[in-house]
Amino acid sequence: MRISSMFSIVLLAFLFTTTSCKKEETCNCIEDTDYLLFGHFYGECMGESCIEIFKLTDEALFEDTVDQYPSSQSGYEGNFVPLDHATFTQVADLINQVPDALFNETEVVIGMPDAGDWGGFYVEVHRDGNVRFWLIDTMRGNIPEYLHDFTTAIENAIVAIND
């Protein structure tokens, strides 16, 4: 009787694990699409505008609600909520303005972001299944010239979103 009880338990466990919900094969999640995370951060600052991170895809714009100071050790883990389509259209082209030279950078930190309480930019790109991220100084003199127009475009996008 003991062997048949044990067999029943094993059989039930097997049936439960093989018939329970299965993970979907495909996912239309935002993480599966190319995106640009961009924003700014300030360490010695108070208020909601101190850390502004956004996620931009070809189809939508999202705002992070976590507002966590970014790390140079790993990509940004946020909680992104969709913004309206009108705001998306104002900044949609930013995803195409990422300089190709940025992908040649060997360091994650470019310049000295927020070293003197002047803030920094956070940029993360998911393209063709690869993710790269950078923390970029806001002081023009501390970053390569090829980033000047792009960081200005980030500043302008953040202003447009917050207006």
pLDDT in tens, 146-160: 999 999 999 999 999
**In the CATH scheme, what is the code of domain 23-162?**
3.30.1560
Model confidence over 9-50: pLDDT tens digits?
443 444 333 333 333 333 334 456 899 999 999 987 877 788
Model confidence over 92-141: pLDDT tens digits?
999 999 999 999 999 999 999 998 889 999 999 998 888 999 999 999 99
Residue type (1 letter), 61? L
DSSP E strands, 14-93:
35-41, 51-56, 61-64, 80-82
Tokens 């991170």 belong to 53
Pull the structure tokens for residue 111: 């310049």
Q: Where are the domains of the chain?
A: 23-162
